[in-house]
Amino acid sequence: MGDDPASRIYVNNKKKACEYCGIRSFEYAMPAETTQEELMALIEKLNNDDSVDGILCQLPIPKHLDEKAVINAIRPDKDVDAFHPANVGKIMIGDYDFLPCTPAGVMELIKESGIDITGKECVVIGRSNIVGKPMAMLLLHAHGTVTICHSRTKDLAETVRRADIVVAAVGVPELITGDMIKEGAVVIDVGMNRLADKKLVGDVEFSGASEKASAITPVPGGVGPMTIAMLMKNTVKAALVHSENK
């Protein structure tokens, strides 16, 4: 929707990944002045199109549109971003079809690195519906002891210092500095922040944190590609479910 430059990059990367995986993708680039009715009509059309297994609306959308209504309108079994309340609720009880792509990507990184979450102190910084909250829930399901920090947290540095596993999903460049990281901690940086000089940095100060961490993700090239990989996984999963039901 509209011409957000970051959204353009994300959409292009998702299209490229679809091509790589052999998934057909259809782009509907709609102008910023699109009405709610037009957008809802498109979602309805895609909901009813049997050749479409997954639908995502690249956020953010222009301010005059109702984002919540858009998320609610996507059929839950085609909701490959896992933002629909039905899918969010399923994550809460640990009985899900799709996981939201970014937290799922983080879990995959931890698992593939051979890191056991059981009993570990996990600190998630950020409580958004799309990253922070589901992230905390997945760490909890994996038997971590989870703390969620946000903008009103009293002593962020002290809380992060306790963590065996730190997940930063804030959107503030290099908020988490090396002195906040416990020796040997695992540090996952979800943040993607574009500085005035166009440089992309995370929410973690990489140079300081990497001296303390036993494992750390870079920005770019860490969580970002995993998010796209999980979107492909969700889409294939949706396609398999739909083909079983045909």
Footprint of ligand NAP (CB under 6 A): 102, 125-128, 130-132, 149-153, 156, 169-172, 175, 190-193, 223-224, 227
Q: Out of 14, 78, 120, 233, pick the active-site residue.
A: 14
**What residues contact 135, with CB distance under 8 A and at least 6 apart?**
102, 103, 106, 124, 126, 167, 169, 190
Among 219, 217, 177, 232, which residue's Cα sits nearest to residue 53?
232
Q: Considering the complex, state which of residue 52 and residue 110 has its C-beta at the smaller distance from ligand NAP.
A: 110
Q: Out of 53, 77, 79, 81, pick the active-site residue.
A: 81
Shortest distance, position 80 Cβ to ligand NAP, whole Å: 14
Shortest distance, position 176 Cβ to ligand NAP, whole Å: 9
The helix (run of H) or strand (run of E) holding residue 17 is helix 5-21
Shortest distance, position 195 Cβ to ligand NAP, whole Å: 12
The helix (run of H) or strand (run of E) holding residue 188 is strand 186-189
Among 130, 21, 28, 7, which residue's Cα sits nearest to residue 79?
130
Q: Considering the complex, state which of residue 180 and residue 190 has its C-beta at the smaller distance from ligand NAP.
A: 190
Catalytic residue check, 58: yes
Catalytic residue check, 179: no
Shortest distance, position 4 Cβ to ligand NAP, whole Å: 12
Tokens describing residue 241: 């479910």
**Cβ neighbour number for residue 72 with a 10 Å cutoff:** 15
Active site residues: 14, 58, 81
